[in-house]
Structure 1
Amino acid sequence: MANSPEMRASDADRDRVAAILREHTAQGRITMEEFHERLEQLYESRTYGELAKLTADLPDVDMRNLPAKKSAAPAKKDEQHAGMQAAWGAWAAASGINWVIWIIVSITSGDLIYPWPLWVMGPWGVILLVSTVFGDNKPKRS
């Protein structure tokens, strides 16, 4: 059954028209001032006919197939993804803490003790290095 202009509109109908008006504002077809004026009229509208008048001078917008928004800063090819950066950060933090503990123990004991932090940071660092050099450095998409 087709919606006649005299039929009452629902809140969901008004929300759809509001989304369309937002999209036209984002695309530069209407100014923010016009957007706010139309939005006020939108929430005072009661029928489909009144809703149709708000977008009569605007082209149809397919809300399902909007263009993807471009990111503000394009990612560089050689840039590591966030997971690899976090792994290196965790390695650096753990290594730093272990070296501080080693220095404190060496100073308080009066002897230079065996540098055991190398056993913590060595294998972990080698795995990270191999992953960084030979990995694809792209985040996995599911």
Structure 2
Amino acid sequence: MFRVAKNLIIFGGNYFGNMLPTSNCWIFWDKKGDIAFQNPFADGELIYTTFKKPVKKIVFRQQGFITDSKDKRYHPTQKPTELVQMLIEQFTEPGQIVCDPFLGSGTTAVAAVKTGRHYIGYEINPDYFQICCDRLDDVEESA
């Protein structure tokens, strides 16, 4: 990915330890916000980027069944479309291409379409690929 991409955004950067190059622009996704209870879910996630911007914090609740997202859940590691839209709008320009090499249920593709970007995506699982296609059809029908 580092060889072919102009810039990268990698969710779960905290799980890669020292395998990622140094970055000036980490994003902290605060998944808890103002929720004041203890639970087994992570309070946040580090998102690695190769952008030359300052560290950012995004608050978007995602704690089990408590979420700020309007998305139906299809995939165990599905990210909220609204969160991915925020990232796409902050780090890309309309008309640019967004690539997701692990497409899953298609959240990145849906967010790209909703924000006027092009997308390329790859998904090995035919069931998730079909879910992605269906989600994209729904976006195009509502436009």
- TM tier, shorter chain? under 0.3
Query: TM-score, normalization: structure 1?
Result: 0.18
Q: Which has the higher strand share?
A: 2
Query: TM-score, normalization: structure 2?
Result: 0.18
Higher relative contact order (CA 8 A, sep 6+): 1
Q: Which has the higher helix share?
A: 1
